[in-house]
Amino acid sequence: MSNRRFEMYEYRQALVRMRLGESDRQIAKTGLMGRRKLAHVRETAESQGWLNPAASVPADADLASFFPGRASKQPSTSSIIPFQDDVRDWVKQGVAGCTIHQALIRKHGFTGAYSSVRRFIAKIKEVTPAATVMLDFAPGDAVQVDFGAGPEITDAFTRRSYQDPFLRDDAGLEPASVCGDRARPENRDLAWVPP
């Protein structure tokens, strides 16, 4: 529990338990505070007379004056902020993070760690996601065509094997209407046209 910040209600609870006669070891077993911190609280409470059951439990303001909380750290600014325009441009161009880090070192004498570059790139990508466009067509207005390699075919007469290119038509149209002049006999190697 080192370096833990205690709230005022935790100090108050420790004081109440001490006033009830519990030892520092018993209070520490509950997980409220460690024995060293409890010894410090007990010493302060005895000097102020807070352990006397007849006295009232001190207010939070009194406790805060004897047990001040740690000042919260101000968020540090990133060392990459002066170069953020360059980094944004490089991210838009698709440059990798390691390359950006090396370019910052070479170009600007950047002394920050690669992790700061990686975190900054993640923030950029989080704020500006890649835009996508939905394509919406009426039936019959567009077709998806896939020219690919078909199965391996063995010629029955020559015993020669070859892969015949074929056309996949997702719109249910005739291959000749989709590929136009590719369906002509002289371009037969570009499309498979059913007989």
pLDDT tens track for 93-111? 989 999 999 999 999 999 9
Mark whether 121 and 86 lie in a shared domain: yes
106 assigned to some structural domain: yes
DSSP character at residue 171:
T
Summary mean pLDDT of the chain: 79
Asked if residue 60 and residue 19 are part of one domain, the reply reads yes
DSSP 177: H
Query: 10 Å Cβ neighbour count for 48?
Result: 15
Question: Is there a domain that residue 139 lies in?
Answer: no
Q: How many domains does the chain have?
A: 3
How many other C-beta atoms are found inside a 10 Å radius of the C-beta of residue 93? 8
Distance between first and last Cα of the chain? 82
Instruction: Answer whether 113's CB lies under 8 Å from 76's CB.
Output: no
Q: Is 134 within a domain?
A: no
User: Do 85 and 61 share a structural domain?
Assistant: no
> What is the span of the domain harbouring residue 175?
145-187
pTM for the structure as a whole: 0.37
Quick check: is 72 in a domain? no
Count CB atoms within 10 A of the CB of residue 110. Answer: 19
* Residue 59 maps to a domain: yes
**What is the DSSP secondary structure assignment for residue 185, as one 8-state letter?**
G
- Among 73, 14, 22, smallest CA distance to 40 is for 14
- The answer to whether position 71 is within a domain reads no
- In this structure, the answer to whether residues 120 and 86 fall within a common structural domain is yes
DSSP 23: -
Which residues 6+ apart lie within 8 Å of 194 measured at CB?
A: 175
Question: What is the three-class DSSP state of 188?
Answer: coil
Q: Residue 136 domain-assigned?
A: no
> Same domain, yes or no, for 14 and 62?
yes
Q: Residue 73 domain-assigned?
A: no
pLDDT tens readout for residues 117-174? 999 999 988 877 777 888 888 887 777 766 666 677 788 888 888 776 655 555 555 5
- Beta-carbon count within 10 A of 191 CB: 20
